[in-house]
Amino acid sequence: MSDLPTSPPPLSVRQHLTALRRRPILFTDLLWVYWGHGFPVSKWNGVQEVPGTILFVDRGGMQYEWEGESVTCRAGDIFFSQPGLRRHRSLPKTKVLSVGYELGWPNGEPLYREGLNRLVAGGMKTKWGRRLYAASLTLFHRVHPGAKELTFAQAVQKDCSTLSAYVTQQAAFAEWLTVLIEVFDELGIQADLPMASLSPVREAKALLDRAPLNCPFSVTQGEKLSVSWRRVEQLFRSELHLTPRQYFEQRRLAQARFRLKQGRSSIKEVASELGFSNLSHFSNWFHSHTGYSPRFFRGNQ
């Protein structure tokens, strides 16, 4: 009986995206593409909230740190960065090709959550690496026609002053995105699909989205659901790849980051808004999720 499928086989990412193109579900945007020197030598930038990024190192190298992890990318390497908190610096004589993009659901959740923050040493020598590098270089030349090299600061000022320039850039980005997704498929990087298709999961997610952030989520809040809470947890983990409690903590963490970046309230006030009566408890909680203290995070925005 084990060889008999109990449900239809899952659609590939390409099949999902083909279907989704008929509906405005996915949010995509090109944030930058630059080909040139890295950031100042030996100077770490501040901790920042960064989007998805693909980095090709032509020469020199880049160092990245996030949540207690670190990598050094050298010539010939490719680094796939997931959205989140990060800081970095460049090594001497560095030249890179980099693409920053957004690819996610309208609620802000990234389409790709697992398998990123991956360094592929010598990735530019692989067949898929050469294909993605060529596509990224084509994207650079179409977004910045006539430019030989650009810094990051110059690249984020890409010209969208005319409708023609905007359409050209969006078309180029769509072509590049197709190649990126094909590469993700080859590397086994899976998208978070679908979005809460099972009714009990949708009910639980809606309940979690309404739950106040100033107190820990209680299992008793799940008594209104159509199935047992234990079953909800099983389905939630299977479909969304995290527990309901982890999902709720992500909501609290997103609010904490937003309020700290705003800078309108003290850290103690932010902690109180999220239900922490003790500032040190809030600091420990924030550090455990991000790798940084609230004070350090705020001071580097």
Domain residue ranges of the chain, discontinuous segments joined by +: 13-187, 199-299
SS3 state of residue 140: helix
User: Can you give the pTM of this predicted structure?
Assistant: 0.64
- Tell me, rounded to whole angstroms, the distance of Cα 17 from its chain centroid: 18
Instruction: Please tell me the predicted confidence (pLDDT) of residue 35.
Output: 95
Cα(218)–Cα(153) distance, integer angstroms: 46
Tokens of 49: 């909230």
Q: What is the CATH code of the structural domain delimited by 13-187?
A: 2.60.120
Cβ-in-10-Å burial (0-12, 13-18, 19+) of 244 comes to: buried
Instruction: Please tell me the predicted confidence (pLDDT) of residue 102.
Output: 87
Answer for the pair 5, 54: CB distance below 8 angstroms, yes or no.
no
Q: Phi and psi dihedrals of 250, rounded to 5? A: -65, -40
Answer for the pair 66, 45: CB distance below 8 angstroms, yes or no.
no
CA angle 109–114–120, rounded 5-degree value = 125
Answer for the pair 122, 133: CB distance below 8 angstroms, yes or no.
no
C-alpha distances in Å from residue 181, one per residue of 9, 15, 132, 189, 191:
20, 11, 10, 9, 9
Instruction: Please tell me the predicted confidence (pLDDT) of residue 8.
Output: 40
Q: Phi and psi dihedrals of 198, rounded to 5? A: -80, 135
Instruction: Please tell me the predicted confidence (pLDDT) of residue 97.
Output: 97
C-alpha distances in Å from residue 139, one per residue of 34, 159, 221, 272:
9, 14, 49, 46
Instruction: Please tell me the predicted confidence (pLDDT) of residue 40.
Output: 65
Cα(222)–Cα(225) distance, integer angstroms: 6
Answer for the pair 48, 85: CB distance below 8 angstroms, yes or no.
yes
Instruction: Please tell me the predicted confidence (pLDDT) of residue 106.
Output: 57
Tokens of 287: 């550090």
Instruction: Please tell me the predicted confidence (pLDDT) of residue 22.
Output: 41
Cα(162)–Cα(152) distance, integer angstroms: 22
**From first to last of its 301 residues, what are the pLDDT tens digits of the chain?**
333 333 344 445 555 445 444 444 577 888 899 999 866 666 787 778 888 999 999 999 999 998 888 999 999 999 999 888 888 888 988 999 999 998 887 556 788 877 899 999 999 999 999 999 999 999 999 999 989 999 888 887 777 667 787 888 888 999 999 999 999 988 888 877 555 556 778 788 888 878 888 877 766 555 567 778 888 888 888 777 778 888 888 888 888 887 887 777 899 999 999 989 889 999 999 888 777 788 887 775 5
Maximum CA extent, the chain: 62
Cβ-in-10-Å burial (0-12, 13-18, 19+) of 272 comes to: middle
Beta strands in 38-134 (DSSP E): 48-50, 52-59, 61-66, 69-74, 78-81, 84-90, 95-104, 118-120
Cα(276)–Cα(224) distance, integer angstroms: 27
Decide whether 13-187 matches 199-299 in CATH topology. Answer: no
Answer for the pair 244, 232: CB distance below 8 angstroms, yes or no.
yes
Q: At the topology level of CATH, where does 199-299 sit?
A: Arc Repressor Mutant, subunit A (1.10.10)
